[in-house]
Structure formats: structure tokens, C-alpha cells
Amino acid sequence: MPTTDNWTHIVIDGAAERPDADLLRRLAHGETAVVVLRNLLPAEVFADNRTRIGKLFANASTTSYANGALTTIGPYLAKYLQDLDGYFQAADEAKDMLDTAGFDLADQVRAGLRDAFGLDAVSVAQEPDGRDYAASVVRIHADGVRNPLHNDNIMRDAQGTGIALTDLAYQLSCVVCLQECDEGGELRMYRKPWEPVDEQYKIQDGLGYDEAVVDGYPCCEFKPQAGDVYLINPTRYHSIERVTGADRLTMGFFMGFADDALHSAVVWG
């Protein structure tokens, strides 16, 4: 697993400094592996929202694959690309459920990112017909769960669906760590974008790609802490290593930018 000095994670203390706006460009262009914002929000915001989401675990759903499973609260778009009406209905239902529970972490993180990077806007994505995308998705990695090597690219995956997100220029991912596991759960971020030839490594009826697809590419391994807010470019290959002990609990959303200016973002789960 080769590493290089410039393919690494950068940690910013959000309470003491503002991140360089150029970090978004470096992420978008695949020049930096991970940007970590610590103390972006007060600790009590994370603690309160962790308690509130914990009461909704009974509403989590699990999608099983040949080599893994995804357990989530709220819908994730990639699952619904063949059923967009179902996605938007599930997004509305999730919003009502989270609002009723008082879970407002996604709103607060969007505002924190907007202020930290001096962005004009960070808003929930919306279709021209007014339908709102999900603002976030909560992921539960239980003991023994690993998120296999994969990449996310809505501009590629949603081609032909007609949704507005296919017109984006760049896609980033924001992950908020609500609770970390006892051992494992590391993010492995590879300096390799997806290419069409990579489909020979796709795991049939399963999640992601065979590890051989990233052979020889630099890898940054990062172990988050509870309260971390980190950004990656998910169009590069990445995985979450096997979780041991307590659940690894995260809230996340994708961030899309329409042009090279990177001044305004839309988000979706």
C-alpha cells in the first residue's frame, strides 16, 4: 500500500482557523486525499444529535449484497436510480421523521461548511419540478462490517435518468462522525479515479471492486474521531475497513459543484 507525502489528510481546527478555500479545489482535482475539520461545531451539537438519531435505529433499513450490507437511516440515491419517484418519496418521509426527532445536524454542518470555506451557498439539491433530494443519510457500520472498495460518481451513474445532478462538474463527499468504533473503521483513500477499463474488476452481484484495481496507487489511511467532519473526493476509490466493537455511526451527504469556481454547492444523500 504505497503512500506519498502529498497524498495525505489535512486537519483543520475549525474553532481556531479558517480552512484555505483552495482545499476544495485540491479535493475536486484529486490532489489531496482528505480534509478534516475538527471543532466545526460545538461538542454539544454532536452529542445532542447522536442521542436523537439513536432513538431512530428501529427505522434503519439494511440492503444486503453478496459481499456486504449497507444499513442506513434515510434513502441513498444510488439505490434508487431505477426508481426515482420512490427515492423522492423516501426523501420526504425521512425529512419528516428527522424533523420530528429534532435531528438538525445536516442543517448545522451545511451552515458550518458555508461559513468555513466562505461559500455563497450550501443548499439541499432540488429538481426543476421542486422535488427535494434527501439532505443526508445516516450510516450504521456494526461490528464486523466493512465497506468494500468503491467509488461514487453521480454524473456517471445517473446518465440517462434526466436528473439535474448529471450536469454537475464536481462531486465531493462530506462525512460527519457521530460515534467511532473501538477498533478498525479506517478510511482508505486511493489516488485513483475510476476509468471504464476498471469494470473488469467490478464484483458481480456485490459491492464495489476487487482490490487489484488500485494496485500500485498511493493510499492515505485515516482513522476519524467522533466529532470529525471530513471531506473527500468520492470519485476516487475508497473503502472503510472492518469495524470492531461499538458501531461506527456517521451522517453524510454528497456535495456537487456546477463549475470550476466552486463557490456554491448542492447536497444530497
Angle at 69 between CA 136 and CA 207, to 5 degrees: 90
Q: Please, are residues 71 and 62 in contact by the beta-carbon 8 Å criterion? A: yes
Amino acid identity for residue 37 in this structure = L
| Residues written for the chain | 269
What pLDDT, on a 0 to 100 scale, did the predictor assign at position 42?
Answer: 97
**Tens-place pLDDT, residues 142-153:** 999 899 999 999
Distance, CA of 79 to CA of 92 (rounded, Å):
16
Q: Where are the beta strands (DSSP E) in the chain?
A: 9-13, 34-38, 61-65, 68-73, 121-124, 137-141, 147-150, 170-179, 183-184, 187-193, 219-222, 229-232, 236-240, 243-244, 248-257, 264-268
Distance, CA of 58 to CA of 50 (rounded, Å):
15
What pLDDT, on a 0 to 100 scale, did the predictor assign at position 5?
Answer: 61
Phi, psi dihedrals of residue 70, rounded to the nearest 5°: -120, 120
Which residue has cell 420530528?
Answer: 100
Distance, CA of 59 to CA of 73 (rounded, Å):
6
Q: Please, are residues 39 and 14 in contact by the beta-carbon 8 Å criterion? A: yes
pLDDT, mean over the chain: 96
Q: Give the CATH number of domain 9-268.
A: 2.60.120.620
For residues 66 and 137, the model is more confident at 137
pLDDT tops 90 at residue 138: yes
Q: Return the axis-axis angle of helices 105-117 and 43-54, rounded to nearest 10°.
A: 150
Return all residues near 250 (Cβ < 8 A) that are at least 6 apart.
Answer: 138, 139, 141, 175, 176, 177, 178
What pLDDT, on a 0 to 100 scale, did the predictor assign at position 6?
Answer: 87
**Tens-place pLDDT, residues 173-229:** 999 999 999 999 999 999 999 999 999 999 998 899 999 999 999 999 999 999 999
Cα 208 versus chain centre, distance? 15
- Range 211-217 contact pairs with CB under 8 angstroms and sequence separation of 24 or more: 211/149, 213/149, 213/237, 214/149, 214/190, 216/2, 217/2, 217/190, 217/191, 217/192
Distance, CA of 187 to CA of 108 (rounded, Å):
24
pLDDT tops 90 at residue 2: no
What are the residue boundaries of the structural domains of the chain, listed by start?
Answer: 9-268
Q: Where are the beta strands (DSSP E) in 7-89?
A: 9-13, 34-38, 61-65, 68-73
Distance, CA of 247 to CA of 233 (rounded, Å):
24
pTM for this prediction: 0.95
**Tens-place pLDDT, residues 54-68:** 999 999 999 888 787
Query: For strand 34-38 and strand 9-13, is the pairing parallel, antiparallel, or unpaired?
Result: parallel
Q: How many CB atoms lie within 10 A of CB 159?
A: 12
